[in-house]
Structure 1
Amino acid sequence: MRRFLIPGLLIAIPVVLAVFGPMFATAEVDKDVAFSSGAGHLFGTDFVGRDVWNEVLLGGRSVVLVAVAATLCTYLIAVPIGVAVGMSRARFVGEAVMRPLDVFLAVPSMLLLLLLASTAPNVLWALVVIVTVINLPDVIRMSRASALAIAARPAVEAMRLQGENRARIGFGYVVRAMVRTLAADLGTRFTGAIYLVASASFLGVGVSPQTSDWAAMVDRNRTGLFLQPWAVVLPALLIVALSVGVNLAFDQLLRRKRREVRT
């Protein structure tokens, strides 16, 4: 359990702040002390005189919850598609699904983010949809590749000969056999979702100009980095802590499972 202490702390701090922070936040603004490092404020004030700690308490939900929701939506949609294509014996099914995804993957994620954001409403649920759409092709390809190898096993052929339906084979055996692969990918995918959400917030996509948001705080206060570094460093550290913590946690889980299999 000691191995999970550091990842647990790295995950818990930003998550707790994101979930419970708004309960302890206020709405006080002192416009006379912009970029101040004192004036009775724990971490100083930002570019318009708002308390940095107060903004941190308010700004985590948009990053954390959107990244979690987008990651879950991605896997709930992509894994069944990838498994269905991987189990299909008709070659044209794979070609019909994968070739359009190859074209989609050729477009850089940031360019795709900007293209999708230009036509989407400036609300958080739209940001969830955008991040999900961007991540879908990669997860579908990964799921299909994993399902192809598992579907070729003698156990799957035996289940087919016994008359098991495709849904039961797919979700009862193939998906269960993919758990390690999915777990290894999930940490990286969640980090990528955080990156996309933070980038979108940094560009003003999905959040209004006055909304409290960790990524937006970095953007708005970067001009005063040397005057009041906490306004940039504190939200940036929380985003990095969550990303690193999730990846460390999944790495430890996979190592533990590997040791259990060997013993």
Structure 2
Amino acid sequence: MRGVGALLVVVPLALALLGPLFVPDSLTRGAPFVANSSLGTDFVGRDVWHQVLAGGQTVVLVALLATLLAYLVGVPWGVVAAMSRVRIVDEVLMRPLDLLLAVPSLLVLILVAAIAGPGLSVLVLVVALVNFPDVARISRASALEISGRPALEAMRLQGETWWRTSIVYTGRSMLRTLAADSGVRLTGALYLVASASFLGVGVAPDAADWAVMVDRNRVGLFLQPWAVVVPALLIVALSVGLNLVFDRALRAEARA
């Protein structure tokens, strides 16, 4: 299983990052859903293989950037809430997040995108906003457990600064928890980005995008299945591969 997870991650990532370099500058169109090339044509007659090469950057990069942004904001938010000695600070920081968690993620996606307008930067912010409350709550729960450890109490008695106790020691102790969560969080971000593409949020309805390909070409699934199957398999492979890689890394660290 060691190489399976890596392979499932490397292939979609390589296609997403390097694929656009191999797409011809001038693309011709033919009849829709015709098997006249390696993978046939899509719903508007474009070559499916060229669309696969050009369509991964939006899904993959937006999901990666949104997940990174959610952790950059959510982890310090949760740590500050957990380590604060003033109860009201914890309440002020965490109670608004309960409201966000109560709203379905797709509804948040649609509402914020409708208010802010289309664009990939908006899509990154929306997906990060949806993931941010979960990241903050997991970080707070992990930091609360760490704050009660004897080692941390000893550091406080020795006069260690808040930065060393709450940021350096606590942050280092949280790494395993955050690593275990990041695989699931990135998979959820991939799902949200794909869902946004299905809804026409962030990308044009005829854009070269794996999620858009699945949505727009499903009407011709039985005529030209590769236009749906290939991009769907790439999204699934990346999601499964990421979790396999993270699980493998965590088990290796535990044995060490």
Paired AA for residue 99 in structure 1: R
Q: Pick from 93, 96, 99: which aligns with 1:100?
A: 96
Q: Given residue 35 of structure 1, which amino acid in structure 2 is its aligned partner?
A: F
Amino acid across the alignment from 2:28: V
The aligned residue for residue 29 of structure 1 is 28
Q: Could you tell me how far 1:153 is from its partner in structure 2?
A: 1.1
Identity of aligned residues (%): 59
- State the shift of 1:170 in Å: 2.0
Residue range with higher mean Cα deviation, 228-237 or 112-121: 112-121
- Between stretches 155-164 and 108-117, larger displacement belongs to 155-164
CA distance in 2, matches of 1:167, 1:121: 39
SS at 1:207 equivalent: coil
- Report how many residues are paired: 255
RMSD over aligned Cα atoms: 1.1
Report the CA distance between 1:50 and its aligned residue. 0.1
Match of 1:149 among 122, 145, 149: 145
Runs of 4+ off more than 3 Å: none
Provide the rounded CA distance (Å) in 1 between the counterparts of 2:78 and 2:4: 34
- SS class of match (1:119): helix
One-letter code aligned to 1:205? V
| 2:78 alignment partner AA | G
* Stretch deviating more after TM superposition (95-104 or 232-241): 95-104
Q: Which residue of 2 is the match for residue 242 of structure 1? A: 238
**In 1, Cα distance between equivalents of 2:253 and 2:97:** 32
Q: Does 1:228 align with 2:255?
A: no
TM-score, structure 2 normalization: 0.97
1:170 correspondence with 2:166: yes
1:258 corresponds to: 254
Structure 1 range deviating more: 153-162 or 228-237: 153-162
Q: Of the candidates 97, 116, 123, which is equivalent to residue 119 of structure 2?
A: 123
Equivalent of 2:83 in 74, 81, 87: 87
State the TM-score, normalized to the length of structure 1. Answer: 0.94
2:59 and 2:210 in contact (8 A); partners too: yes
Counterpart-to-counterpart distance in 1, 2:188 and 2:53: 23
